[in-house]
Amino acid sequence: MAVKVLAIVLAGGEGKRLMPLTADRAKPGVPFGGIYRMIDFVLSNLANGGYLKMVVLTQYKSHSLDRHISKTWRMSTLLGNYVTPVPAQQRLGPRWFAGSADAIYQSLNLINDESPDYVIVFGADHIYRMDPKQMVNDHIASGASVTVAGIRQPKSMSDQFGVIDVAEDGKRIKAFREKPKEVDGLPDAPDEIYASMGNYIFTTRALCEAVTKDAQDPDSKHDMGGNIIPMLVERGEANVYDFRDNLVPGSSDRDRGYWRDVGTLDSFYEAHMDLIATEPIFNLYNHDWPIFTNYGSWPPAKFVHGFDDRQGRSIESMISPGVVVSGALVERSVISPNVRVNSWAHVEGSVLMEGVKVGRRAVIRNAILDKNVIVPEGAQIGVDLDRDRKLYTVSDNGVVVIGKGQKVEL
């Protein structure tokens, strides 16, 4: 008999380090790559892998995320498939989720209703392609209670990840520390650590027991990475799955193994720049493993009024439908639907979200402009960073970020 698998997507992350982009939306609901939202990547991975029963646990400012899920991820229910957003405030009792493990504890009824053999628990705020079926098969073959996806990351980032110490057999997790400041590097790569991707496969009974036990512990933070995984590691029941073993159809040598935790403004910006390279570091054009989304009915993008060889055009950029570039130059940028760039404006190395309007002769450099920002004629963004720091958010690496509804000064 086929194994029954339920997927739970943790989508409650607040994303404080992405402010102002997360001022009024959850991190998994932040637009990415012109036409997507971050959550589309994990949901597409699950759908392409054939896992079509998905529960999305939301919490923080989930309105636009809920709207996106119900608009984009409405699937035929004929075969019992679904993508259901479950808001925290509608579960047991009046309290909000304390942490990701509590989110699952409060949703145990959904697991009981489905009675799966295995539960996939994936995060919602990473940019990557992964075939979850290969990881599920690895988990089933090993007989572990939980399998954690692991990837090598720079040692300097240890305080952002769960750090995995693997036993000699290369599979069993000997020790797991959540976001440690001090760590040793790997024996064969002293500058690297083995990090948890925040993606887990659980045998159902082990998951239910672990979150129920954790719920009774008053000292627990009720966190998957901080509490549940260490509990199962201590019992010797946790294995690792190396992300390098995951082969996604259609991926090239260049983008195999690509995974980005876009938790900061700089990593969010850099992941966009990865999309537009001539030979993209992350290839959205792999049609064997499509990333699904829904962005409404816009007409094709249009480029008009080329006055000289600098204007009315766009190069090394991704331009979404509904965009009009009129007598302006757009370079190395990711432009969302319904953006308008007017004459003699110059947009360079930037991410413009839906509905942004760029006035004549404006200059926008190394910037992220959230939805519907209006750039007045002649305004300059990313040209004088000292001035920008007084008016807007400027990231560590000097990316200027202008939030929704924020006024751009002349």
- Tokens 């030979």 correspond to 279
CB of 28 to ligand ADQ, least distance (A): 6
Per the annotation, does 196 bind a ligand?
A: yes
- How do strand 53-58 and strand 82-87 relate by DSSP bridges? parallel
Return the residues of window 222-241 that contact ligand ADQ according to CB under 6 A.
223-225
CB of 27 to ligand ADQ, least distance (A): 6
- In 3D, which of 368, 409, 380, 406 has the Cα closest to residue 18? 368
**199 and 135 Cβ atoms separated by less than 8 Å:** yes
**How far from 268 is each of 104, 279, 326, 347, CA to CA, in Å?**
27, 19, 28, 18
**372 and 352 Cβ atoms separated by less than 8 Å:** no
- 62 binding ligand ADQ? (CB under 6 A): no
- 85 binding ligand ADQ? (CB under 6 A): no
Q: Which of 162, 337, 349, 355 binds ligand ADQ (CB under 6 A)?
A: 162
**241 and 136 Cβ atoms separated by less than 8 Å:** no
- 197 binding ligand ADQ? (CB under 6 A): yes
Q: Which of 40, 131, 138, 261 binds ligand ADQ (CB under 6 A)?
A: 261
d(CA 315, CA 333): 8
CB of 15 to ligand ADQ, least distance (A): 8
- Which of residues 227 and 350 has its CB atom nearest to ligand ADQ in the complex? 227
d(CA 133, CA 125): 20
Q: Which of 21, 35, 86, 124 binds ligand ADQ (CB under 6 A)?
A: 124
Token reading at 120: 């996939």
- How do strand 162-166 and strand 173-178 relate by DSSP bridges? antiparallel
- 198 binding ligand ADQ? (CB under 6 A): yes
- 123 binding ligand ADQ? (CB under 6 A): yes
Return the residues of window 1-30 that contact ligand ADQ according to CB under 6 A.
10-13, 27-28
Near ligand ADQ by CB under 6 A, which window of 119-127, 264-272, 279-287, 354-362?
A: 119-127
Question: How close are the terminal C-alpha atoms of the chain, in Å?
Answer: 66
For residue 410, the tally of other CB atoms under 10 A from its CB is: 10
# binding residues, ligand ADQ (CB under 6 A): 26
- The single-letter DSSP state of residue 64 is H
Per the annotation, does 296 bind a ligand?
A: no
- 150 binding ligand ADQ? (CB under 6 A): no
Binding region for ligand ADQ (CB under 6 A): 10-13, 27-28, 57, 59, 97, 99-100, 103, 123-125, 161-162, 178, 195-198, 223-225, 261
